[in-house]
Amino acid sequence: MGMGNAPILILREGTKRDKGKDAQYNNITAARAIADAVRSSLGPRGMDKMLVDSMGDVVITNDGVTILKEMDVQHPAAKMLVEVAKTQDAEVGDGTTTSVILAGELLKKATDMIDANVHPTLITAGYRLANLKAQEVLKKVAMKVSMKDDKLLKQIAENAMISKQVGGSKEFFAEMVVDAVKTIIEKDDKGNYTADLKNIQTVKKAGASMEESQLVKGLILDKEPVSPAMPKKVVGAKIAIVDAAFELKKTEIDAKIQITDPSQLAAFVREEENMLKEMVNTVKRSGANVVFCQKGIDDLAQHFFAKEGIYACRRVKKSDMERLAKSTKANICNKIVEISAEDLGYAESVELKVIENEEMTFITGCKEPKTVSILVRGGTNHVADEVERSLVDAWSVVKVSIEDGMIVTGGGSTAMEIAMQLRDYAASVGGREQIAIEAFASAMEIIPTTLAENAGLDPIDINIQMRKEHKAGKVNAGLNPFTGKIEDMRKLNVIEPLRIGKQAINSATDAAVMILRIDDVIASKSSPMPEYGSGDDMPSMDDD
């Protein structure tokens, strides 16, 4: 038998395979579609997106990473751009739209080079050189900022919120954000500032205007006292934080108690009462007048707490317990019998407040609070959600500005300066990498281009004017979308942390390089779920 015409099957039937330029074009097209989806949301004139999931839940936002997380992306190359946004969000908290748009533009420029038969390896080598040079330029144009520069920090927070729904109240929220971050900031062993944003808690309640939001230097617990007979407010609170139940333990093995006399039953019940009463008395002897318990509190124990005038909450979340301990300087006690005065924390006030028909506990007036809570208000739940997203972006950029101590100007000014210097650098490199570096420079201009498009301006005119200004040495010249003019961004206080640009360019370059290096896509056919009938076809639950 001749084997010449016999097909050799290596891959499973139904497997799809794209090779060479087809694979590259497919990947680039999918990634660019993701970038185009978020492009119109960039900048202070950007638009919002309405996202409706399979359950009918609605999210209205212009936050890049939120848009991409809500989209049900299937294409593997497109998923890589979603990862770019997620990484940017995790590292900086803002600039997610910028990073995705930049990655999409780098791939678009690469398409033209692939059409001109420039090998992808040369393109990626040029992109990596351009990235290194861009990072140098960023450091060169950066300016210093310190924790004492309240005005600059507030401006950074305002710029992060200006394109969001809270833009109209940005001054109000900026002050709140800077105050919150400066409260939780700490110094590490080397004397550097660090802040754990987990120490900022948000509690959302719809039904009021955004400007009724408030900052609490302490904690807001979505809990109420376990008994209505307990005090509604405790001034000079001595707080016990207990990770144990004020309940009687059941025996761990089967036990049988025989009671033959009614007096024995009464003694048995009385002993249970005495045990619970002793637990409460232990807390009382320690001097505590407020108890936060991670576990349950028995009905009888609730009665004894109320009689002693102790404010007690149960089933407090572990994360809230840790925040409480940090703010009030209390120790979390695992054994009730060992609670002592040294374990107690302090707050000036523990008060029950009713917000939109829900009872909440406010712990305020801690001596050195290292946690803060923000009560976020909004006319509807959708508004409150967007306010929270805006605040997260704002305090993230304030945090990284303090940690790094470096800022750059916005309005596309830094992107344009990088583009101008990359073109000069490309000439010194020579070879085919020069083409890729020049393409990288052109891709950087997508930032001012998009800002101009979203403001209803002519992007070509804007880019020509910006190039002219930067050629004249005006490093901070950028677009003011409200006036349509090229202005000094430093004078307008349009600033952002250095880390936004640094991370956006790095992650966009890495994603573009990874996608360009793929020349073969092998996609297996997904296996259908087995359909079981009745009887013997159904697998047994007892099978090993």
* Active-site annotation holder among 66, 87, 96, 364: 96
Alpha-carbon distance 154 to 173, whole Å?
9
Alpha-carbon distance 322 to 330, whole Å?
10
Using a 10 angstrom Cβ sphere, with 0-12 exposed, 13-18 middle and 19 or more buried, the burial of residue 342 is: exposed
The length of the chain, given as a count of residues:
544
* DSSP character string of 198-219: GGEEEEEEESS-GGG-EEESEE
189 is catalytic: no
Alpha-carbon distance 226 to 70, whole Å?
38
**Among the listed residues 40, 168, 97, the one whose alpha carbon sits nearest the alpha carbon of residue 452:** 40
* Active-site annotation holder among 61, 87, 97, 98: 97
* Active-site annotation holder among 94, 298, 343, 393: 393
Using a 10 angstrom Cβ sphere, with 0-12 exposed, 13-18 middle and 19 or more buried, the burial of residue 501 is: buried
The answer to whether 290 touches 351, Cβ cutoff 8 Å, is no
98 is catalytic: no
Both tokens of residue 403? 């940690």
Alpha-carbon distance 208 to 354, whole Å?
14
96 is catalytic: yes
Alpha-carbon distance 371 to 132, whole Å?
38
**Among the listed residues 356, 448, 453, 455, the one whose alpha carbon sits nearest the alpha carbon of residue 409:** 448
393 is catalytic: yes
Residue 14, sorted as left (phi over 0), alpha (psi -120 to 50) or beta, turns out to be left
* Active-site annotation holder among 63, 94, 298, 510: 63
The number of C-alpha atoms within 13 Å of 189 and in the hemisphere containing its C-beta is 0
Coil, helix or strand for 151? helix
Catalytic residues: 63, 96-97, 393
